[in-house]
A and B are shown apart, each in its own frame.
Chain A
Amino acid sequence: ILNVEQSPQSLHVQEGDSTNFTCSFPSSNFYALHWYRWETAKSPEALFVMTLNGDEKKKGRISATLNTKEGYSYLYIKGSQPEDSATYLCAPQSGGSYIPTFGRGTSLIVHP
């Protein structure tokens, strides 16, 4: 089981603000990292799978970067909208494990 830290724990922003949050994980024996979005009363939904140091992924207004050498990933949301309100989970995997370890998530609330 990996030590996964997500910060901040929660975040309130105004509609139109851009925001970012962090996932930290052990840099040794890195294999992959997953980002999920979990809206209230819905199923967690996959955003990205990242595997290579320096990876950048983008999906609409949401993007993510990965630094495996220092053990962190950033998730960015540009021009936040109320529908972006959700908990964002990161889940790194170490080599030899096919089970990702989930962080506690960052809860984002976007106010109209």
Chain B
Amino acid sequence: GAGVSQSPSNKVTEKGKDVELRCDPISGHTALYWYRQSLGQGLEFLIYFQGNSAPDKSGLPSDRFSAERTGGSVSTLTIQRTQQEDSAVYLCASSSMGWLAGGQETQYFGPGTRLLVL
């Protein structure tokens, strides 16, 4: 079946502009995660959605970052007033049940959005 998809695959923006990144998880997966990888760094957790529960936003680096998940499916990560340090690969992942399965599930990743802020 279809895997996790993300759009756009690449995004170049100017400092101060807002950007929206989209993630389509695997159909039926209740858990959705956003990560980013900055140059030379590991994957950094940003936010986690589990079904209709309140999201875990503990990884968001500043209040310029927000995310929503509509209808328990598609998710959008928004970065307002982008800064150069926001340049990174933004990855989305989904899993079948997330913490409901004890949190040991494999996550299925999308191909990422490469964001460059000039």
Say what secondary structure dominates the interface of chain A. loop
**A36 shortest CB reach to chain B, Å:** 8
For B40, list chain A residues within 8 Å (CB).
Answer: 104
Of the candidate stretches A62-70, A77-85, A93-101, the one touching chain B is A93-101
Number of A-B residue pairs at CB separation under 8 A: 59
Interface size of A by CB at 8 A reads 25
Instruction: Please report B residues at the A interface, Cβ cutoff 8 Å.
Output: 3-4, 33, 35, 40-45, 48, 56, 59, 91, 93, 98-99, 103-112
Q: List 25 A-B contacts (CB under 8 A).
A: A31-B103, A31-B104, A34-B107, A41-B111, A43-B108, A43-B111, A44-B43, A44-B91, A44-B93, A44-B109, A45-B109, A51-B104, A93-B103, A93-B104, A97-B103, A98-B98, A98-B103, A99-B45, A99-B56, A99-B59, A100-B107, A101-B42, A101-B45, A102-B35, A102-B45
